């Protein structure tokens, strides 16, 4: 069955145009040599019902990384990730994914439950899947690479982890689209050439709501819908939309305007041919303020190519753009963020992979081009 949520590019006159140019260039550079296409993570791919060969599925990922040369403080990170699925009955399974990680911006350790859900799957010409509980965000392509063994470069997606500007005083931190694993219900239907999904969640995709922790935002209903087509083997296109509140009135400095809501339109694409994979997504987001609406748009594109049985290369370009007016009557503020990372990877064993990267970035917190080198080691294995 085809992988979920891969979408096509939509036109944009600034950042997206640059991404489209990079996509064309990457295609020309890679078409002459054999490369590989990555698969979607086991924890998110629509699979046949668990239990046809075993009642228990278990895998683990452990990763550490470090960097040098940056003028901006960055802590080394660590990631301990366990995924398990147990068959409860024919078509029914319980899925859990606890994660312990060390954050790069402050070095703090964090424990979260990324998945804890019951899943029902019914195979057929039109397959149906229902998830109830804590599950992967139903919008976004970057979230499918939020596991070190699925991320072709070293650093995590800025789409998921880089906070955007606080457009209004006293509002919570938000992201272009957060690395969120909301609580709710999701229904997915898929056939050979198409898929569609709809979800009701307890948090906004631009903010998220953690499973553990004392500083949890209030639950706020959000609606997500999306779908895609697979016109040819290896190519998938689709789109998603989402709407709902991201900040409650009692959380903001000026509660007179009520809850703050956000709307999202997202497109993504994933194309694998030969041993090459080119993927990317772009998002348009509208965020309510007390007296106006702010914009945060952006996306990323990446290309991965296998050079041999053990070697591969990868590159990712990020581009984000924010627009808002801090007070009525003032000129609109406009900020951009750009980042480029290139990586060489070496598979030591089927379970151990080494990666080395060069990264340069500019914008938001960093007002100059900041260069650094990064390295990581990732251990990933299926226990059962």
**Greater confidence, 295 or 332?**
295
User: Rounded to an integer, what distance in angstroms lies between the CA atom of residue 223 and that of residue 245?
Assistant: 10
Model pTM above 0.85? no
Q: Is residue 87 part of a domain?
A: no
Q: Is residue 96 part of a domain?
A: no
Q: What pLDDT is stored for residue 27 in this prediction?
A: 38
Q: Is residue 82 part of a domain?
A: no
Backbone φ and ψ for 337, nearest 5 degrees, come out as -135, 135
Q: Is residue 277 part of a domain?
A: yes
CATH of the domain at 159: 2.40.160
The tens digit of pLDDT for each residue in 185-239 reads 999 999 999 999 999 999 999 998 888 887 788 999 999 999 999 999 999 999 9
Q: Is residue 6 part of a domain?
A: no
Say whether pLDDT at 182 is over 80: yes
User: Rounded to an integer, what distance in angstroms lies between the CA atom of residue 79 and that of residue 61?
Assistant: 8
Mean pLDDT of the 298-303 span: 98
- Please, what is the average pLDDT of the chain? 86
Say whether pLDDT at 15 is over 90: no
**Domain range for residue 24?**
15-50+63-75+139-382
Closest by alpha carbon to 304, among 283, 280, 268, 320?
280
Q: Is residue 109 part of a domain?
A: no
Q: What pLDDT is stored for residue 344 in this prediction?
A: 98
- The gap between the terminal CA atoms of the chain, to the nearest Å, is 22
User: Rounded to an integer, what distance in angstroms lies between the CA atom of residue 224 and that of residue 134?
Assistant: 15
Classified as helix, coil or strand, 212 is coil
Q: Is residue 347 part of a domain?
A: yes
Structural domain count of the chain = 1
Q: What pLDDT is stored for residue 290 in this prediction?
A: 85
Q: Is residue 108 part of a domain?
A: no
pLDDT band, very low/low/confident/very high, at 329 (cuts 50, 70, 90):
low
């Amino acid at each position: 069955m085809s992988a979920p949520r891969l979408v096509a590019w939509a036109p944009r006159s600034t950042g997206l145009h640059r991404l489209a140019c990079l996509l064309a260039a990457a295609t020309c550079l890679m078409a002459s040599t054999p490369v590989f296409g990555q698969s979607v993570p086991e924890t998110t791919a629509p699979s046949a019902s668990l239990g046809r060969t075993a009642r228990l599925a278990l895998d683990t990922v452990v990763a550490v990384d470090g960097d040098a040369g940056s003028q901006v403080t960055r802590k080394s990170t660590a990631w301990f990730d366990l995924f398990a699925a147990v068959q409860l009955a024919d078509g029914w399974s319980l899925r859990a994914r606890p994660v312990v990680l060390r954050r790069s911006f402050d070095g703090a350790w964090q424990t979260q439950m990324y998945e804890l859900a019951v899943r029902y799957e019914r195979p057929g010409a039109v397959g149906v899947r229902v998830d109830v509980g804590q599950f992967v965000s139903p919008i976004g392509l970057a979230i499918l690479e939020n596991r070190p063994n699925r991320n072709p470069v070293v650093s995590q997606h800025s789409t998921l982890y880089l906070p955007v500007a606080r457009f209004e005083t006293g509002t919570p931190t938000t992201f272009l689209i957060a690395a969120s694993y909301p609580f709710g219900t999701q229904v997915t239907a898929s056939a050979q050439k198409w898929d569609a999904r709809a979800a009701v969640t307890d948090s906004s995709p631009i903010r998220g709501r953690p499973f553990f922790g004392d500083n949890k935002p209030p639950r706020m209903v959000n609606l997500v819908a999306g779908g895609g087509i697979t016109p040819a083997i290896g190519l998938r296109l689709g789109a998603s939309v989402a709407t709902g509140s991201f900040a409650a009135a009692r959380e903001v400095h000026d509660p007179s305007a009520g809850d703050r809501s956000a709307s999202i339109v997202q497109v993504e694409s994933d194309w694998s041919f030969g041993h090459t994979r080119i993927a990317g997504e772009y998002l348009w987001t509208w965020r309510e303020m007390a007296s106006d609406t702010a914009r945060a748009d952006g996306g990323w594109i990446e290309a991965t190519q296998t050079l041999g049985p053990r070697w591969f290369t990868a590159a990712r370009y990020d581009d984000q753009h924010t627009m808002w007016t801090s007070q009525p009557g003032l000129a609109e503020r406009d900020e951009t963020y750009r980042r480029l990372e290139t990586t060489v990877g070496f598979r030591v064993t089927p379970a151990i992979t080494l990666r080395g990267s060069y990264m340069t970035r500019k914008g938001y917190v960093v007002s100059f081009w900041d260069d650094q080198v990064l390295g990581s080691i990732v251990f990933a294995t299926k226990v059962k």
